[in-house]
Amino acid sequence: KNHILMLIPKIDEGINLEIIMDSLLILKNKKNKIKFLITGFFSNKNLEKKIKKEVRRRYLKKNILFLGLLKSERKIINLLSNSKIGITSYKVTDRHNYYEYSDSLKIRLYAEFGLPILTEGLTPLSREVVLNKFGFIFKSSKDLSQKIVEIIFKNKFKNLSKNSKIWALKNSREKFVNKLNKQLNNWKFI
């Protein structure tokens, strides 16, 4: 299925849904089979009303599905296993600067399931996506929609997915935890 997954715990002003909706408008005119699946709870009712009103106004209800906060590991695994692309879409705000100091766990999770990744490029890990050829950085809604078409309809999915799995295996959490444990076991404590 041509599902694009945006797995987030909370939908707030730090998530750029505008670029998602704009790209869907472009894609809707060409390929109506694209669907964005977005997890997470809305941080407040006003934001939820505003976003859902905009989705209705743009006639995107068939193309964007808000799934709410998922707590079931089985449901999350099912979503990851049945999606074509994993996406991060953050934006810079006065209240959101965690991407300056943190790693994108979403990128790591998407890669574990072999998903090609589309990212806005705000986290340090987004450079890894491009360098290791398992996804792209997008800069605009037009750019995002073009990259979605490239991945899904122009045969880039297989290669990006393979590279995503390879990168995930090289950078698995278990590998780093085992390495750290080995180092700690070799230290002599006084």
User: Mean pLDDT across the stretch 33-46?
Assistant: 93
> 30 or 59: whose pLDDT is higher?
59
Specify the 3-state DSSP secondary structure of 58. coil
**Residue ranges in 71-153 assigned as alpha helix (H):** 73-81, 105-112, 125-131, 141-153
Please tell me which residue, 92 or 121, carries the higher pLDDT value: 121
Residue 145 has pLDDT above 90, yes or no: yes
pLDDT over 90, % of the chain: 64
**Residue 190 pLDDT greater than 60, yes or no:** no
| Total H helices, total E strands in the chain | 8, 8
Rounded CA-CA distance 81/39 in Å is 15
Task: Provide the pLDDT confidence category of residue 28 given band limits of 50, 70 and 90.
Answer: confident
Residue 65 per-residue DSSP state = E
Confidence category of residue 101, pLDDT binned at 50, 70, 90: low
Longest dimension (CA), the chain: 68
Residue 16: which pLDDT band, with cuts at 50, 70 and 90? very high
Q: Which residue has the tokens 């089979």?
A: 33
